[in-house]
């Protein structure tokens, strides 16, 4: 990987350990780290997205020898790459614990972290795991995540770590763990119980448990807490490890001038601690099944629409309690991240409600949502909100007004630009400044894959339309297309849009085999990983040159601000 001129041997005084420094995180240090995160959040001006650029890469896609990217050495190496290439943003997908299908947009909790991201090497450095266990690790593929194999191995390692913790007398670690549990009790207690009960029931959805547990009978819950106390504590400890490592990485990135962009899906999974714990906040029947579910209506791209299956919110109840759950959710997300991208923003103006028993989306209807009341309540509680509104697709004036009145930048995707209409809002000459622009998102093909496509899964255009788009693209970008991914990157960085984000696959010029997700496809997604050798100094230099040329580095922005003052 790349050497970093700014990397220091010792971690910053207020943060947990930096790259693999064996270092127990005391209670005082833990509290200081969270105060740091909160102070950054509350001082952020949501209307001030300075001219900058960054890379989209989910941590599961990082390299490493344990089958999946994690928060260990490769994450810090990637921060080195960002720093060397003068990027100031690292965007990730939702970090929650994934369920069936391994989608980060269908998690068991909107608050908890994915324990598969815990670095085993950091646990060895912290004295919580013997290096012998790592030496005995099985062989994993380098370019794909084998989630089943990774779960089997990492879950076993985490059980070993918890057993060691229970037999350890280290008072600092126990104090830090106790402080973590106390700070996050508002979601941690119910989540740990949910996961313990889910394991005890063989992984089935919560609404298939015994009726007393489905309906959260107080006596049944208290009995479960006693019967599964060890399993509950282990879930809490694993969350402690995840958060400790995440905040260490975040502090290291922030010290370098790199901000983290996270992702808040508008909806949560039905089989989640959130829905089980708060059934009155969702539209469910007496058996715990959704009466209506989320999706989008039929359109040019799909004759039956998209059936997502997420339960929809009981907004009347949320209004009545002052949107307490949403305020907690956004506060938690903005402790973890510097900026949050809110997915499917148009659903805060109106959502497509599909009858709960339907398998497709045709019979849905638009139902208004109280987005203005919601974001007013969140702003009143938390202050200015560093939020990006994912406003892709057909956006109505009420959605635009909601976005603009709260000063949230919207999004544009360059792959959507080449319809042949010069007024297409995704063309760079039509960008406003207050905007976040992408070559593509996690749902798109790679730029090389998009440019060379001929048809197949995920392709919604016929061959003639594809050819027209390709021809217009080449003309617009004034290129022959030999390095179409760099043509796209240059167009974004040169635009007036304040924020430009490029998926790492496009920086590397990879084709469709590196695609992260094909929407409406149940298998084969979320698997791609970058190799250790891919992030070269030459690549960083090339990206650095364009970033500096188009004035997107932190130092250039400070000089511009000074000259204007």
> From first to last of its 565 residues, what are the pLDDT tens digits of the chain?
443 333 333 333 323 333 443 333 444 444 445 444 444 444 444 446 999 999 999 999 999 999 999 999 999 999 999 999 999 999 999 999 999 899 999 999 999 999 999 999 999 999 999 999 999 999 999 999 999 999 999 999 999 999 999 988 778 999 999 999 999 999 999 999 999 999 999 999 999 999 999 999 999 999 999 999 999 999 999 999 999 999 999 999 999 999 999 999 999 999 999 999 999 999 999 999 999 999 999 876 578 888 999 999 999 999 999 999 999 999 999 999 999 999 999 999 999 999 999 999 999 999 999 999 999 999 999 999 999 999 998 899 999 999 999 999 999 999 999 998 999 999 999 999 999 999 999 999 999 999 998 765 545 567 888 999 999 999 999 999 999 999 999 999 999 999 999 999 999 999 999 999 998 787 899 999 999 999 999 999 999 999 999 999 976 654 544 443 4
User: Which of 80, 343, 469, 506 is an active site residue?
Assistant: 343
Catalytic residue status for 343 = yes
Run of H or E residues at 90:
strand 89-91
Mention every residue, 6+ apart, whose C-beta is less than 8 A from residue 218. none
Instruction: Give ∠ CA 448-451-454 in degrees, rounded to 5.
Output: 115
Crossing angle for the helix pair 229-255 and 185-200, to the nearest 10 degrees: 130
Would you give the distance in Å from CA 247 to the centre of its chain? Answer: 15
Catalytic residue status for 143 = no
Three-state DSSP class for residue 120: helix
User: Which of 70, 80, 338, 390 is an active site residue?
Assistant: 390
Closest CA to 38 of 335, 466, 293, 361: 335
Closest CA to 92 of 64, 55, 145: 55
Whole-angstrom distance, CA of residue 259 vs CA of residue 262: 10
Whole-angstrom distance, CA of residue 234 vs CA of residue 193: 10
Query: Which residue in the block uniquely carries the two structure tokens 């299908």?
Result: 101
Catalytic residue status for 443 = yes
Query: What secondary structure, in 3-state letters, does 64-86 show?
Result: CCCCCCCCCHHHHHHHHHHHHCC
Three-state DSSP class for residue 499: strand
Yes or no: say if 489 and 425 are a contact pair by the CB < 8 Å rule: no
Q: In this structure, how many other beta carbons lie within 10 angstroms of the beta carbon of residue 344?
A: 21
Yes or no: say if 83 and 4 are a contact pair by the CB < 8 Å rule: yes
Whole-angstrom distance, CA of residue 477 vs CA of residue 210: 61
Q: In this structure, how many other beta carbons lie within 10 angstroms of the beta carbon of residue 405?
A: 12
Three-state DSSP class for residue 177: helix
The β-bridge relationship of strands 387-389 and 350-355 is: unpaired
């Amino acid at each position: 990987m790349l050497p970093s001129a700014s990397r220091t041997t010792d971690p910053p005084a207020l943060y947990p350990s930096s790259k693999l420094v064996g270092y127990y995180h005391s209670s005082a240090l833990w509290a200081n780290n969270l105060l740091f995160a909160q102070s950054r959040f509350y001082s952020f001006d949501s209307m001030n997205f300075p001219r900058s650029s960054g890379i989209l890469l989910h941590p599961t896609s990082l390299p490493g020898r344990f089958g999946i990217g994690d928060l260990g050495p490769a994450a810090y190496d990637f921060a080195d790459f960002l720093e060397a290439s003068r990027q100031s943003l690292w965007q990730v997908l939702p970090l929650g614990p994934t369920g069936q299908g391994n989608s980060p947009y269908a998690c068991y909790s909107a608050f908890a972290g994915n324990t598969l991201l815990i670095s085993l090497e950091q646990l060895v450095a912290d004295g919580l795991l013997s290096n012998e266990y790592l030496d005995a690790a099985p062989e994993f593929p380098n370019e794909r995540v084998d989630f089943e194999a990774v779960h089997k191995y990492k879950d076993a390692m985490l059980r070993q770590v918890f057993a060691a913790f229970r037999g350890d007398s280290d008072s600092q670690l126990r104090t830090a763990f106790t402080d973590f549990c106390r700070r996050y009790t508002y979601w941690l207690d119910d989540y740990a119980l949910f996961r313990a009960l889910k394991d005890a029931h063989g992984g089935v959805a919560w609404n298939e448990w015994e009726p007393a547990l489905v309906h959260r009978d107080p006596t049944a819950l208290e009995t479960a807490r006693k019967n599964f106390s060890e399993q509950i504590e282990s879930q809490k400890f694993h969350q402690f490890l995840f958060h400790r490592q995440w905040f260490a990485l975040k502090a290291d990135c922030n010290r370098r001038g790199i901000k983290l962009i996270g992702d808040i899906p508008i909806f949560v999974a039905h089989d989640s601690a959130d829905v089980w714990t708060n059934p009155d906040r969702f539209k469910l029947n007496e058996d715990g099944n959704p009466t209506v579910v989320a999706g989008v209506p039929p359109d040019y791209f799909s004759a039956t629409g998209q059936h997502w299956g997420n339960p929809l919110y009981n907004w009347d109840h949320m209004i009545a309690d002052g949107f307490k759950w949403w305020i907690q959710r956004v506060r938690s997300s903005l402790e973890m991240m510097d900026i949050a991208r809110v997915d499917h923003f148009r659903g805060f103006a109106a959502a497509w409600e599909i009858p709960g028993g339907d398998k497709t989306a045709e019979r849905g209807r638009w139902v208004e949502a109280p987005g203005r009341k919601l974001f007013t309540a969140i702003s009143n509680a938390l202050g200015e909100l560093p939020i990006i509104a994912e406003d892709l697709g057909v956006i109505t004036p009420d959605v635009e007004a909601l976005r603009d009145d709260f000063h949230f930048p919207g999004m544009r995707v360059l792959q959507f630009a080449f319809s042949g209409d010069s007024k297409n809002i995704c063309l760079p000459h039509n960008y406003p400044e207050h905007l976040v622009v992408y070559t593509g998102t996690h749902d798109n093909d790679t730029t090389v894959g998009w440019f060379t496509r001929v048809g197949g899964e995920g392709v919604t255009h016929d061959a003639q339309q594809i050819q027209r788009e390709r021809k217009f693209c080449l003309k617009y970008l004034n290129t022959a297309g030999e390095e179409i991914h760099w043509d796209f990157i240059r167009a974004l960085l040169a635009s007036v849009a304040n924020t430009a984000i490029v998926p790492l696959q496009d920086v590397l010029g990879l084709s469709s085999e590196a695609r992260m997700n094909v929407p409406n496809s149940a298998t084969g997604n979320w698997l791609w990983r970058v190799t250790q050798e891919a992030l070269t100094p030459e690549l960083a230099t090339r990206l650095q040159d364009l970033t500096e040329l188009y004035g997107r580095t932190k130092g250039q922005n400070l000089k511009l601000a000074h000259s204007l003052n």
